[in-house]
Copies of this chain bind each other. A is one copy, B any other.
Amino acid sequence: MSYVSLPILNNFGVYMDIITGFPSTMMDDYQLNIIDILRYAAETYHSQKVISRISDNKTISYTYKELLERVSKLAHGLVELGVKQGERIGILEWNTHRFLELYFSVPCIGGVLVALNPRLHTNELAYIIKHSGIKRIFFNSDFTDLITSIDRYLDISEYILLDRQSGDIDIEPLLFYDDLLKEKSKYYNFPVLNEKSAYAACYTSGTTGRPKGIFYSHRSTMLHSLIWAIHLNLSIRDVHLQLTPMFHALGWGLWLSFMIVGAMQIFPGRWMVKNPAPIVDIILDKGVTISEGVPTIWRAILDELDKRKFSGEIHMKAVLGGSSPNLKLIRRLRSYGMEVIHTYGFTEGNPITHRSILIPSLNKKCLENGDYALYQGLPAFLVRQVLIDKKGNEIKHGENKVGELIVRGPFISKNYYNYEEDDKAFIVWQSQRWFRTGDACIINECGYLKVVDRYNDMIKSGGEWISTIELENYLVNHPYIMEACVIGIPHDKWGERPLALIVPEDRFRGKLSDEDIYSYLLRKFPKWQLPDKLIYLDSIPKTGTGKYLKRVLKEKYGKEYR
């Protein structure tokens, strides 16, 4: 049954829903606008602070009240510049207060902030800028070379330099961020936007095809922010460190949730995974209670703590996502007193869609090792999850069969922006439109999701499935192995067979033998799941966002080793 929403006029001049005869203007004309998050934080938690580390030795800090004032000034600056409703504006920046300010000013005057990932190939970046229709770009001087190299392909009306007030930079026309705020009123009368208007956009660059644009709306971002404030149990006593890059899927969007509860927030600026010392300093000095990032980031933080022989406890929530943490990482985090929260999501999911928690009444037997943190876990409120097989039939929870995960909900995309090939990524299932995650998953009898592999990377050998990710995760747990990538190679008899590409740790290069690795793998895997061939490399080719280029590798090694 679908819904009816035709309004009729009643005696009192109020629109009534024809189903219920209920005056529909009663409270529901309120439009969910992201500016209300900032306005609320500024008015209610006015004295709570935002800290921004703008260089190795400079940190600035202001209150939520001052943040709203700066955002208002910036809004005046943008309007003066000629920014129109619906205009797309690009940004290339680290996690600073400036990124935060633009995430409010641009969308809340009716523009759309398009977050650009500086790690992408220049071709991809140029494509995204053109495809989304960006005419103005805010950028950090660290990305000057990047801008210079693609400027000739673009049609940009203005560049705005974020972190400097002058400088001999050969880009034109060039404006300066601080000038936009100068001498502006600290009050701005933000418009009420239709809640379904676009708020910001991120592009996902898969391992295949062109980047695809996801436009988040004010409404979807608001619902995501509310629901994750609940599921992560955020509180005004939290101190949040924004580790995930803000150009990557809204930086996971939790900085908005933290403003709803009024928590203090720290934006760490530029830092490198190979030098996590400044991050560990912040965690210890500022009493950080929660942060989020991919496993690689948490490993770097742990290595730094190990190096410092840190002996205390760090009572913080470590939110992991992006890829699955293994048991070793989970235990290392816990050994420092951290609570591990394993989350799962994707750019199309606004972005977080799952998290793992323990249900008190649950029989723990349904969890591997009794440990919920090994699972992607339970869907977020209002997210519906289904596993389907290749024919589109549902695989029920607890069937212990691998299927592709499809999801839908009020903050999950139903299409890409101006993209013709949507049909591959979305599916109509039981008369509803669902997003195909492309992830091969199992949902156990208790409803816990486990991602096993990318659905297209799974290897079918002699009619049985082999998970490349399980092999990879176990391989990188070997103390001599730094990276491992497993791919399926066509095989005349078995259909497909696994092949492993291995990057040893520097000091063990040339010292690893096939025998070592096979005997290690046999501790966990049956013989028929072992790779037919092990190949040792110095590095494995990856995308701008660090994913293995499996399609390219399959093609290359498929020809060579078939």
- A positions within 8 Å CB-CB of B: 1-5, 10-12, 14, 17, 19-32, 36, 40, 43-49, 63, 85-86, 110, 112, 189, 191-198, 215, 217, 219-220, 223, 226-227, 229-231, 233-237, 260-262, 264, 350, 357, 359-363, 378-379, 381-382, 408-415, 417-418, 420, 422, 446-447
Contact = CB atoms under 8 A, between A and B. Distances in A.
A387 B3 CA distance: 40
Q: Which of A22, A32, A195, A418 has the most CB of B within 10 A?
A: A22
A415 B26 contact: yes
A417 to B, nearest CB: 7
B415 A381 contact: no
A235 B233 contact: yes
24 contacts: A2-B191, A3-B31, A3-B191, A5-B194, A11-B418, A12-B420, A14-B415, A19-B194, A19-B197, A20-B85, A22-B215, A22-B217, A23-B215, A24-B217, A26-B414, A27-B411, A27-B413, A28-B195, A28-B219, A29-B414, A40-B382, A49-B361, A230-B260, A231-B261
Contacts of A234: 230
Contacts of A1: 189, 191-192
Contacts of A260: 230, 381
A25 B413 CA distance: 9
B12 A418 contact: yes
B410 A20 contact: no
B3 A194 contact: yes
Contacts of A408: 30
Given A226-B226, A235-B233, A19 B85 contact: yes
Nearest to A45: B359
Given A3-B192, A415-B25, A226 B217 contact: no
A309 to B, nearest CB: 31
Contacts of A27: 217, 220, 350, 409-414
Give the one of A12, A27, A49, A196 with max B CB within 10 A: A27
Contact of A2 (B192, B217, B418): B192
A239 to B, nearest CB: 9
Contacts of A25: 414-415
